[in-house]
Amino acid sequence: MENELLNIKNNAMSLILDTNDSEQLEEIKLQFLGRSGVLTQAMKELPKIDPEKRKEVGMLANEVKITIENAISDKEQQLKHTNVRIRLEKIDVTNPGIRPPLGHLHLITQAISEITTIFERIGFTRVRYPEVEWDWYAFEALNFPKDHPARDDWETFFIDTEPNKKFGPMLLTPHTSSGQIREMQDNKPPIKILNLTKCYRRQSDVSHVPMFHQFEGLAIDTNLSIVNLKGVLDYFVKSYFGEKRNARIRPYHFEFTEPSFEVDVSCGVCSGRGCKLCKEGWLEMGGAGMVHPNVLKNTGIDPNKYNGFAFGWGVERVLMMKEGIEIDDLRLLYSNKLEFLEQF
C-alpha cells in the first residue's frame, strides 16, 4: 500500500510538472483526486488495512493528497501568468501604428523662407554672397574709413592668412552689405535683389550670437527716391508682422548710404502706446538709406545716371519682434535643445 501511494505521488508530480496546458492540468486533477480518481480509489482501501498499520498509511495517503493538491494549485497560478504574458505579447496588426517623430524646419529656416517669399512678391530676387570675404568688399568699397571701429579685431573675425594685394585682409563677413558691392560689380542696373546669408561678429549675449543671419535689399534704377524705400519698408512690416504694425524712419548715419535711416516698427505688445519692451511705442529693426554715390562709383555705376536704396536687418532680430514668438535668450536658437525647438 505504501509503495502504491508513493507511485501515485511520483506519477502525479511528473505529469503536473510536464504540462503547460490548463485543460490538461484539469484532467490530471480529475485523474488523481476526482471521485473515481486513482488516489481517491486507493484511499477507499484504507479500512481494509491492518489496524496496526492503518494510521501510518492513512497519514501517508493524506500527505500524498496534499502534495498533489499543492502542486496542482501552484501550476494553475503559473499557467495563469504565462497566459496573460502571451496575450500581451500578441501583436494586433489592425491597431493604428505609432507615428515616427518627423520634426520640422528650424525656426530660422522658417523665417528665412517667409521673408524671401514676401520680397519675391514685389520683385526682389534672392541671392547669396560669400561668408568669407575680403576687406575691400566688406568695408573699403562700402565707404568705411580706415579707422572705423568695425574694422577692428574686436569687432570682426579676421582670417589668419596673407592679405590680398588689391582687396586687403580676408575676414568673415560682418554684414550682408558686402553683397551689394558684388552684385553691383557683376550686374548692370536695374537691380533688385535680396541678399540673405550668414554673418559673423565678435559678440555673444542674450540678444547677440557670433553667427547670425541678415537679409539685405538693394534696388538700383534711374529714378528711385526715399518714397520707394518707405513703400518697401511699410509693405514688409505689414506683410511680416501684421496689418496693425507700422514702420517709421529716423535720420541716422551709415558709411554706405546717404541719407541714412534707422527703421523702427511699432510695438506689437502696446500697439505703439509705450511699454516696458519698447521705446515710446517703437522697436528698432535696423538700417536703411539711399545708396551713397561713392559706393556706386566704386562698383562702376554712374551716380549721375543711377541711384537706389538699400536696407539690412537681422533675421533673428525681426523674428524676435514678431508677436507670439517669445525668446528670452537668442542663443537658444542655436543650442540644439529639442525642448526649445519643438515649441515652434
- The count of other CB atoms within 10 Å of the CB of residue 120 is 12
Nearest to 193 by CA among 221, 155, 226: 221
- The count of other CB atoms within 10 Å of the CB of residue 161 is 10
C-alpha distance from residue 328 to each of 122, 126, 208 (Å)? 33, 30, 11
60 versus 320: smaller Cβ distance to Zn ion: 320
Cβ of residue 284: shortest distance to Zn ion, in angstroms?
A: 12
- Per-residue x/- marks for Zn ion, 137-156, CB under 5 A? --------------------
189 versus 268: smaller Cβ distance to Zn ion: 268
Cβ of residue 245: shortest distance to Zn ion, in angstroms?
A: 11
39 versus 278: smaller Cβ distance to Zn ion: 278
Using N-to-C axis directions, what is the helix angle for 51-89 and 22-33, rounded to 10°?
170
Quote the CA–CA distance of 131 and 282 in Å, as a whole number: 32
Quote the CA–CA distance of 303 and 192 in Å, as a whole number: 17
179 versus 268: smaller Cβ distance to Zn ion: 268
Cβ of residue 323: shortest distance to Zn ion, in angstroms?
A: 11
6 versus 325: smaller Cβ distance to Zn ion: 325
Find the angle CA(304)-CA(307)-CA(308) to the nearest 5 degrees.
Answer: 170
275 versus 338: smaller Cβ distance to Zn ion: 275
141 versus 278: smaller Cβ distance to Zn ion: 278
Instruction: Please name every residue paired with 77 in a beta bridge, in sequence order, or none if there are none.
Output: none
State the burial class of residue 303 (Cβ atoms within 10 Å of its Cβ: 0-12, 13-18, 19+).
middle
CB 167 within 8 A of CB 134: yes
Within 276-315, the residues that bind Zn ion by CB under 5 A are: 277-278
Q: Return the residue nearest Zn ion (CB atom).
A: 267
**Phi and psi torsions of 49, nearest 5°:** -80, 150
| Backbone φ/ψ region at 324: left (φ over 0), alpha (ψ -120 to 50), beta | left
Cβ of residue 268: shortest distance to Zn ion, in angstroms?
A: 8
Nearest to 217 by CA among 235, 203, 229, 227: 229
C-alpha distance from residue 2 to each of 7, 10, 37, 99 (Å)? 9, 12, 17, 66
33 versus 270: smaller Cβ distance to Zn ion: 270
| 65: CB partners within 8 A, 6+ apart | 33, 39, 43
72 versus 267: smaller Cβ distance to Zn ion: 267
Within 224-283, the residues that bind Zn ion by CB under 5 A are: 267, 269-270, 275, 277-278
| Backbone φ/ψ region at 183: left (φ over 0), alpha (ψ -120 to 50), beta | alpha
Cβ of residue 246: shortest distance to Zn ion, in angstroms?
A: 13
Cβ of residue 318: shortest distance to Zn ion, in angstroms?
A: 16
Cβ of residue 321: shortest distance to Zn ion, in angstroms?
A: 11
How many residues of this chain interact with Zn ion, rule: CB under 5 A? 6
> Can you give the binding site for Zn ion, defined by CB under 5 A?
267, 269-270, 275, 277-278
